[in-house]
Structure 1
């Protein structure tokens, strides 16, 4: 297809959006999160778009490869990615550890900036061919809607931020019950249930995931029990990001089979043993299925994970694996009798559209996909944001990614980005408002000190 349109321009636009005071093992989300957009234009008048991890490092990586993209036919998107991969070298501070201990400073090395370019190029290719992006992946479109889960978080009290520092978004006057609730303090089982009720009412979620690593393990299990009591038919799972010791994880989970469907990264490295060895011991002791987005974030890590039978569900975020890689992973897992799913970080609706496409192309029966979008909903950068209806993300019925940028909203998000004192994620800073002198410890829940 030598006569396919040619990419005439590549723009990298860093953007920011507002967040809640969400709690995780790594600390507390800041009032704003950052992302990078890739916008491609071709000589047929089409625009392709992709979204990826925020921060200056990722932005610089994207800008550095612009000469490899501009002037190239859209049909050569695979060769363009090959060239980018060949010239890429690990950053000097990248020790290869990845996020096995949820060190957020290393997330930028796990996320590959070029996947935003892949997304934007496949968006253009789909528009040229008149087919949705999912038809260009794997075996093509498998479904028209993708099951999602309600991603629940503990939320701290934004009123503890002192006057003069950047404040968290206040939606107390919103007419939407969920928009009001998501900016309030949520730290008890009763409030977690209220959170689940609100997102179930708005988005129709049937299944829920609780982000753990915040309170004691027993307190978080109480929240899971409360969720199961309120939603007896729901699949409930919890992700403490490896905060628990092996002994504690076994004690907490052994008798929870009637509550929890599977465990996500319950424990991590300890006593000289790797996360993979520890997770295999957890599986042996509890007979739980285990999911991960921490110990299998590239093909080499995946090999060691499956060779030790450490996990059953691989959460193959396309921003870790690439779109082609994520769907290839689904094919491999399906043939091996394992399960595919997707993990997420804070994101705009461009990533939501991308999740729709990759979820539509994944083979087999995926686990319900993660999305943070419910925490950012309303900050749309698209004219035609995909909808979550009855707990399922609707796949756009249009060529390519199937969505269109609202450039006025994009530039507004860019202005917010430029106003921030730092563009890198730092979950420790906001924790200082709650616990002065707080320091990250991957074996201690963030509010347990």
Structure 2
């Protein structure tokens, strides 16, 4: 069977004013939706970043995939690579807290989106769930974590759509946010995005979560926005509270020093984003838990190889997330279901996204988990009316590359990104 058409549709999805080390989320997040159509009319789906450099490479590559077999993933890689020089120097705004924006990950990001669609088409053609192409399911459901953010109320600016969570700028409001999310989705782990306010106040929020949810696993992630000295002070204050400590301080060397001083398991999606950094991390014993992400690690099968490597070196494994819709969530779920070495509940921004492009609406999260089905491929179908609606939103919106710093400067003109800030 040959591929007869490849479609790439950029969309803009509503995003709340979530605060982080770089600034604040813009009112829209950008995604690209991939459709790879086979000669029999079956369509494989993929989803990735919608920022200009990634979108440019996707658009430049799509035509060369027509006529290729959806089973020829090596041919896919060659065609993505052939187009990469034309967009490699596209001048993107790089954000370390969003590794998919890094120019060094551009080829992997584009390849991954097409690879998911190729695998989805393969599985649909064979009439099997995608997880079976990955070796079969070792679990029938995948646990995700409540992902908490400090945030402003949507009324801060008319561009933001109303959201159900409201303001969260202190420990009490963070606990309320967690309660709301846990009541709705049943999460059993909690992650707090930090690096925004005074680190001791953020530690107080974790202590408040511990008091409110004593049986839940807790994590904190300041996106490398704390110095080593600050990271040590917070570690002391939160002794015995954390499941793991995520990216508190910059650089592999800084993380290694912190681990030696505290013995705490350190997790990352920032200082290890490729194989060379992983090798250096193992040499330093800098991080003990890798937060993988198929969107920039090079796809589903590359992430399976990463899982085996982590197992070999005694490293824990979970999954990182950026703002995404259900195609990405189901790709993450099929992948995680196929991996023996999955140590922790995965991250997901999905509860923060109100938009969806799938028939039937949002993918259910029950008991903190996404459950696999026996439907072919990823098990989801495109709602073409919603896809068109969100493509129209993309055409109207002012954003073409994510920039949390510039968005914060709209509210605070003197804001500058400083690393580490505290």
Structure 1 residue 338 corresponds to structure 2 residue 338: no
Shift of 1:105: 9.7
Residue in 2 aligned with 1:149? Answer: 145
User: Contact 1:249–1:266 (CA<8 Å) still a contact in 2?
Assistant: yes
Structure 1 residue 22 corresponds to structure 2 residue 18: yes
Distance 1:369 1:94 in 2: 31
Aligned length in residues: 417
Question: TM-score, normalized by length of structure 1?
Answer: 0.88
Shift of 1:319: 0.3
Structure 1 residue 213 corresponds to structure 2 residue 195: yes
Give the secondary-structure state (helix, strand or coil) at the position aligned to 1:294: coil
Shift of 1:109: 4.5
Give the secondary-structure state (helix, strand or coil) at the position aligned to 2:35: strand
CA shift in 2, pair 1:217/1:201, >3 Å:
same
Structure 1 residue 288 corresponds to structure 2 residue 274: no
Cα deviation per residue 1:360-412 (whole Å; 9 max; x = unaligned)? 11222331101001000x41211154321101111232111111000100010
Match of 1:249 among 231, 239, 253: 231
Shift of 1:267: 0.1
Residue in 2 aligned with 1:353? Answer: 330
User: Contact 2:100–2:295 (CA<8 Å) still a contact in 1?
Assistant: no
User: Contact 2:131–2:335 (CA<8 Å) still a contact in 1?
Assistant: yes
Q: CA RMSD in A?
A: 2.0
Structure 1 residue 7 corresponds to structure 2 residue 3: yes
Match of 1:55 among 25, 30, 51: 51
Distance 1:84 1:334 in 2: 30
Residue in 2 aligned with 1:132? Answer: 129
Give the secondary-structure state (helix, strand or coil) at the position aligned to 1:74: coil
Structure 1 residue ranges without an equivalent (≥5) = 172-179, 269-274
Distance 1:436 1:85 in 2: 40
Q: Which moved more, 1:39-48 or 1:428-437?
A: 428-437
Give the secondary-structure state (helix, strand or coil) at the position aligned to 1:300: helix
Structure 1 residue 409 corresponds to structure 2 residue 378: no
Structure 1 residue 264 corresponds to structure 2 residue 246: yes
Distance 2:371 2:314 in 1: 27
Give the secondary-structure state (helix, strand or coil) at the position aligned to 2:335: helix
User: Contact 1:104–1:426 (CA<8 Å) still a contact in 2?
Assistant: no
Distance 1:121 1:316 in 2: 21
Q: Which moved more, 1:210-219 or 1:387-396?
A: 387-396
Distance 1:403 1:49 in 2: 9
Match of 1:372 among 334, 345, 349: 349
Structure 1 residue 229 corresponds to structure 2 residue 207: no
CA shift in 2, pair 1:94/1:284, >3 Å:
farther
Distance 1:227 1:108 in 2: 37
Distance 1:246 1:351 in 2: 34
Match of 2:367 among 374, 381, 390: 390
CA shift in 2, pair 1:209/1:406, >3 Å:
same
Shift of 1:72: 1.0
Shift of 1:86: 5.6
CA shift in 2, pair 1:199/1:371, >3 Å:
same
Shift of 1:283: 0.3
Distance 2:259 2:37 in 1: 49
Distance 2:323 2:345 in 1: 17
Structure 1 residue 110 corresponds to structure 2 residue 113: no
Task: List structure 1 segments (4+ residues) > 6 angstroms apart after TM superposition.
Answer: none
